[in-house]
Amino acid sequence: MKHLPQDAAAWAALGMAYVQQARTNPDPATYARAEKALKQSLAAQRDGNANAEIAMGALAAARHDFPTALSWALRATTTAPYSPVAYGVLADAYTQLGRYEDSYAAVQRMNDLRPDASALARASYTFELRGETGRARDLMQRSLTAAATPGEQSFAHVCLSALDLQDGNAQGALAQAEEGLRVTPADSALLEARARARAARDDIQGAVADFEAATAIAPLPHYLLGLGELQQSLGHRSEAQAQYDLLRAQETIRRTQNTAADTDAILFEADHGRPDRAADMGQDALRTRPFIAVHDAYAWALHRAGRDAEALGQADQALALGTRSALFHYHRAVIHYALGDTAAARDDLQAALRLDSHFHPLHAPAARALLQRIGTTS
């Protein structure tokens, strides 16, 4: 690259490569490298540089700065109105900003331009958000068929595994993860998917082994939290604490970078740290990411901080689209119970356990215990 300082396309490609790397590498320095390369591209070609604009949008999204991601995506779709990739970034930004109808329109435009694996995967997600897992599964299966790279195949298998878990089909979830691992055996997302499927089938040692393999490849927050809470459920305090220590170290780095917290960080702080801090983190995250998962995490943080009246509104927003999430229903059930509405709590507990009776190593047993308590006191 030193020999081509004015090659805008080459700098844009390098920047996007760093963005892709950052999705499996929590090192903030990777984001900085991406930004530097993309700024170099834009310096070489300020106008009409759709590749750099798309990559800048993807970079902002990776940093959870979705207002900035939207700005770059709108610029990219203006520069390149027939670029399906640009509409993909636009759809992602709209989704995370809670502008769901706009996101559906952007996904439709992306598919109209080129119904490839990426476009079909996004179409699948629009139905998953609305709780239409059958439609979502059909579209994700089409995405798998259209996949042109091992990475696209792996992503489709991860999503299909998650959809099976949402429908309580642990065996199907396991089969999807294992099929993907036969193609890409060192894919951390597939290892995590198999870990969750194994846990749902009570193969706890297999789940621990897969989580450990995933974190060894990419110590992403949701892997660390999943492994830590699984170890905690087994009474392995020191092993759980090791994962929690890594999460706290990552949180310290995040704070120095002044970026918004992800949902895993909020939930971790709520359950294993300071709930009042978790509530502040959730409130900050909503400013740039008013997405259903953030509403759920904020609701749980507010509950843990003793602010249940506020928490209920957030929990309702998390489930407003009809998303099939056992964890969201459990969180709202506990909030209802804390507010004295046992009938609503029972409904949400039953919904959570009906969707996935193994949805969480700590909360699923708590859900069963709370449902039994409500049954004996009402």
DSSP codes, 262-294: PHHHHHHHHHHS-HHHHHHHHHHHHHH---HHH
CA gap 95, 129 in Å, rounded? 10
Terminal alpha carbon distance of the chain: 70
Encoded tokens for 106: 């952007």
Residues 6+ apart with CB under 8 A from 171: 201
Q: Which domains, ranges and CATH numbers included, belong to the chain? A: 1-114 (1.25.40.10), 130-218 (1.25.40.10), 219-252 (no CATH)
Please, are residues 159 and 118 in contact by the beta-carbon 8 Å criterion? Answer: no
Nearest to 184 by CA among 134, 149, 138: 149
Contacts 24+ apart (CB under 8 A), 302-307: 303/331, 303/334, 303/335, 303/338, 304/270, 304/271, 304/275, 304/278, 304/279, 305/270, 305/275, 305/276, 305/278, 305/279, 306/275, 307/279
Q: Could you report the per-residue pLDDT of 27-41, keeping only the tens digit for each?
A: 778 889 999 999 999
Q: Mark the ranges of the chain whose per-residue pLDDT is less than 50.
A: 1
| pLDDT for residue 146 | 98
The string of pLDDT tens digits covering residues 164-178 is: 999 989 999 999 999
For residue 299, how many other CB atoms are within 10 A of its CB? 30
**Contact yes or no for 296/264 (Cβ under 8 A):** no
Residue 271 is predicted with a pLDDT of: 98
Average pLDDT, the chain: 95
Can you give the pLDDT at residue 42?
95
The pTM is what?
Answer: 0.94
* CA distance linking residue 33 with residue 288, whole number of Å: 23
Give the pLDDT score at 20: 87
Length of the chain (residues): 378
